[in-house]
A and B are shown apart, each in its own frame.
Chain A
């Protein structure tokens, strides 16, 4: 993989899920660096700091966002993120990854511009490989 993703980001409160995805990424060598936030608020704080010093290397190319989280859930994060994402000066691909199979959630997520796609948990290793290789459209 020539243009491997440099930085990916997971926003999810499920420790088990995060540690498993981490293992897959390491085992498959899918990206160079991975950062993890426990909820939307923590992630948003990070992006707001970046906004002030615009360090391109600290901006992830891919975000995996959970919906059900404490403190700030995925929806609220999306609201805020949509507002600042254009100022970051870098294309960020965002996937919603949730165990919700509620069609209302799926529709709602897909209708948001900054959401590339909605993945229902469990994700598969194949899914992750496809996404990281940039083949998924």
Chain B
């Protein structure tokens, strides 16, 4: 019976060791002698009078040969120098076989027994048939270390947590660290605390086991990924009295997995952009060539020479459109070949000034107010031409689709949040019906308004530029209220 005996005083000592289901030796001095307890005799099946209770007799007749040397050293060291010890030993029984004992001095015991005389306890280790405890211990420890898997137990009765050596190691706590149940949320990364709380609560209340990947924090504040597995522990009345489980350090694997996932996302998005691009090329070029073909048919079919010449003039128009389309397609191709261009640290204000001077007339004519706030994030390491192009496209977009009842106001803001850098462009324009156009906002030649100058290329280019540098662009909008574009660089 292992209970906390921190408050134990000397007079309680006898009661306590009587309850301890183990034999022990009391070590007396002047003269040196050992008194073997009743349970010690019972443990090896002898009666008191059958044995001579001296250390020499013990070493000669009872202890297994393999253990003699170490035990003798330990014993004498303890006798003479008060050096505590613990070890496994095998002791011969009256039946002629050996029993395995965990042998420990009172300072080595997991409970705090205060005693004025020295004691050596002998705890019998009951083995399953054919099981060798030393081997088993060895494997358990090796396995735990090799797989970075720590075990733990939460005891609801005692309101305590217990960690094994490996749990302490992976969480970077010292060997003598006592885990806290009260502050157990602190062992998890901030964004994982709710998840941890839910898992433990469900396991404790309804017995749902868990097996999950979660972020924890080490004593040194390092955030890392673990696989946390836990299951309820029941008593005889089928009540849940604790949770037992393991933490496995899977940081390396998880980080690789996340990196892989990220590259897969990039590849998927690049692939879909390529596919989209192939489609665009096919569609946009086809519309001109089919017009050309229609025109040729018409020219051949018409007899009147004057009409023929008139139709030949149409070729000019088609050729002009074809050129424009090809220029647009070139711009897109250029984004992907230019993305390795040198990035530079650019001040947002400088880029904005450049853009605004370029479209000064458009801004003035439309009476547009631009309010910029770059206080939180003043500069960024980016391809200058892209940043200018992004700002240009978003600003002209806001001006083009301004609300007819009010002058355009554009708020531009930069900020950083959780290590990411953001640019937000918000207008008070007529907005986009997101229900209808959610998937089409950034498509090529998609326009949503009856505007003469709507070309449907700007946002498509912007998206391509942002994504070619692994960023994302999203849009929020409400008809009549305005549109907000958010770029995560």
The residue on B at minimum CB distance from A23 is B298
The residue on A at minimum CB distance from B279 is A102
- Given A16-B317, A71-B448, A71-B449, A101 contacting B282 (CB threshold 8 A): yes
User: A101–B286 Cα gap in the complex (Å)?
Assistant: 9
A89 at the interface (CB under 8 A from B): no
Is B446 touching A70 in the complex (CB atoms < 8 A)?
A: yes
Q: Is the interface of A mostly helix, strand, loop or mixed?
A: loop
Give chain B residues whose Cβ lies under 8 Å from the Cβ of A100.
Answer: 283
User: A17–B297 Cα gap in the complex (Å)?
Assistant: 13
Give chain A residues whose Cβ lies under 8 Å from the Cβ of B311.
Answer: 23
A6 at the interface (CB under 8 A from B): no
Interface-forming stretch among A49-57, A106-114, A116-124? A116-124
The residue on A at minimum CB distance from B289 is A122
User: A70–B450 Cα gap in the complex (Å)?
Assistant: 8
Give chain A residues whose Cβ lies under 8 Å from the Cβ of B294.
Answer: 17, 20-21, 24, 122-123
Query: Interface residues of A toward B: which range?
Result: 20 to 34
B382 at the interface (CB under 8 A from A): no
Give chain A residues whose Cβ lies under 8 Å from the Cβ of B301.
Answer: 24, 27, 125
Give chain A residues whose Cβ lies under 8 Å from the Cβ of B292.
Answer: 122
Q: Is the interface of B mostly helix, strand, loop or mixed?
A: helix
A99 at the interface (CB under 8 A from B): yes
User: A102–B281 Cα gap in the complex (Å)?
Assistant: 13
Nearest chain B CB to A45 CB, angstrom units: 12
Is B290 touching A71 in the complex (CB atoms < 8 A)?
A: no
The residue on B at minimum CB distance from A123 is B294
With beta carbons under 8 angstroms apart, the residue of A14, A21, A23, A123 that contacts B287 is A14
- Given A16-B317, A68-B445, A125 contacting B287 (CB threshold 8 A): no
Is A99 touching B283 in the complex (CB atoms < 8 A)?
A: yes
Is B290 touching A70 in the complex (CB atoms < 8 A)?
A: no
B148 at the interface (CB under 8 A from A): no
- Given A17-B290, A68-B283, A99-B287, A125 contacting B448 (CB threshold 8 A): no
Give chain B residues whose Cβ lies under 8 Å from the Cβ of A23.
Answer: 298, 311
| Interchain Cβ contacts under 8 Å between A and B, 6 examples | A21-B294, A24-B301, A71-B450, A122-B291, A122-B293, A122-B294
Q: A21-B294, A99-B290 are in contact. List 5 more A-B contacts (CB 8 A).
A: A20-B295, A68-B445, A71-B450, A99-B287, A101-B282
Q: Which residues of A contact B (CB under 8 A)?
A: 14, 16-17, 19-21, 23-24, 27, 68, 70-71, 76, 99-102, 121-125
